[in-house]
Amino acid sequence: MLVTFENGRPTLNMTTIDHRVRVAAEKRERMRARLIESALRVFAQHGLEAAAIDLIVVEAGVSRGTLYNYYKTQDELIRDVLQTVATEVLTALDHSLADTSDPARRVARAIKTVLVVVGANPVLAQFVRRIGITSVMDDGVAGELLARDLSEGQDQGKFTFERIDAALAMVSGAVHGAIGANGRGVALDVAFAEAMTRQILLGLGVNARSASALARQPMSAAPLQLGIGGLTLTAPRTVRSPRR
C-alpha cells in the first residue's frame, strides 16, 4: 500500500514508492534498448537514409506514440543508437587491447581498428557522417578511454603534445575526417588506416620511426562482439599491414 496509518495518521510507504520508481525505470530502459536494437536492424537492412520511423516501430512491435515518448525526432534516435554502438565498440576494443599496457600502442591499434571496422561496416560509417563524432567523444566512453591513454602516454614520455584537450580534438577530428573521406569514395582499408594512424601519431609528437612501427602493428583478427541484440562488427580478413 502507498499509504499506511500510524496512530491514526496517514503515512506514505516509501519502500513501496521506491520499488515502483525502480520498476518503472527498469521498464523504460528495457524499452529504450528494444527501440535501439530494432533501429539497428532496420538501419542495417535498409540503410540509414531509407529507414523510416514506420519500419522501426514495426520491427520493435510498438506504436509511433511509444517511440516518440522516447525520441522526438529520427536524428535524436540515430544519435542515441550511435552513442550506444560507439560505447559497445570502444568497450569491446578496450578489452581486446588488454594484452598491452603501452598507451602509444593502445592508441595506435585503437585508431587503426576503428577506421578499418567502420570501413567494413557501411551503416556505422553512415551513423558517424550523419551525426558526427563529436557527440560520441564528448558524451561517452570513447572520449574517456582516449583521454586516459593520451594522458598516460604523455606522463610516460610517449607523446609530447602540450594540451590534452587539443590532442583529443586533433585525434577525433582526424578520425572524423577519414570517415568523411570514405563517404566521398576513399576506401578505409588497412593501408589507408595505417597511413592515418601514422599521421595522427606524428601529430601527438611520436617520432617518425616509432610512428611507422606503431601504425604497422597488427589488429586483432577477432570480430568485435557487441551486446546489442547479438550484433557483431567485423573487419576484413586481412588485418596485418600490407608488405612494402
DSSP of 49-96? TT--HHHHHHHHT--HHHHHHH-SSHHHHHHHHHHHHHHHHHHHHHHH
CATH number of the CATH domain containing 230: 1.10.357.10
Q: Enter the C-alpha cell of residue 181.
A: 573521406
In terms of domains, do 60 and 150 share one?
no
Q: Over the stretch 64-84, which tens digit does the pLDDT of each residue have?
A: 999 999 998 888 888 888 778
In terms of domains, do 160 and 67 share one?
no
Q: Over the stretch 200-239, which tens digit does the pLDDT of each residue have?
A: 999 999 999 999 999 998 876 555 555 555 555 555 544 4
In terms of domains, do 58 and 176 share one?
no
Check if the beta carbon of residue 225 is closer than 8 Å to that of residue 215. no
Radius of gyration of the chain measured on its C-alpha atoms: 22
CATH number of the CATH domain containing 59: 1.10.10.60
pTM of this prediction exceeds 0.85: no
Distance CA 189, CA 239 (A): 10
- Tell me, what amino acid is at 1? M
Q: Over the stretch 100-111, which tens digit does the pLDDT of each residue have?
A: 889 999 999 989
In this predicted structure, what is the pLDDT of residue 104? 95
In terms of domains, do 86 and 179 share one?
yes
In terms of domains, do 41 and 138 share one?
no
Instruction: Give 57's contacts (C-beta < 8 A, 6+ positions apart).
Output: 63, 64, 66, 67
Distance CA 108, CA 65 (A): 44
Q: How many domains does the chain have?
A: 2
pLDDT band (50, 70, 90) for residue 99: confident
Residue 2 falls within a domain, yes or no?
no
Q: For residue 97, how many other CB atoms are within 10 A of its CB?
A: 19
In this predicted structure, what is the pLDDT of residue 237? 45
Average pLDDT over residues 120-146: 71
Residue 4 falls within a domain, yes or no?
no
Check if the beta carbon of residue 88 is closer than 8 Å to that of residue 226. yes
pLDDT band (50, 70, 90) for residue 28: confident
In terms of domains, do 128 and 221 share one?
yes
In terms of domains, do 113 and 189 share one?
yes
Q: Which domain holds residue 34?
A: 14-72
Distance CA 213, CA 63 (A): 53
Distance CA 63, CA 82 (A): 22
In this predicted structure, what is the pLDDT of residue 139? 56
In terms of domains, do 154 and 111 share one?
yes
In terms of domains, do 192 and 95 share one?
yes
pLDDT band (50, 70, 90) for residue 240: very low
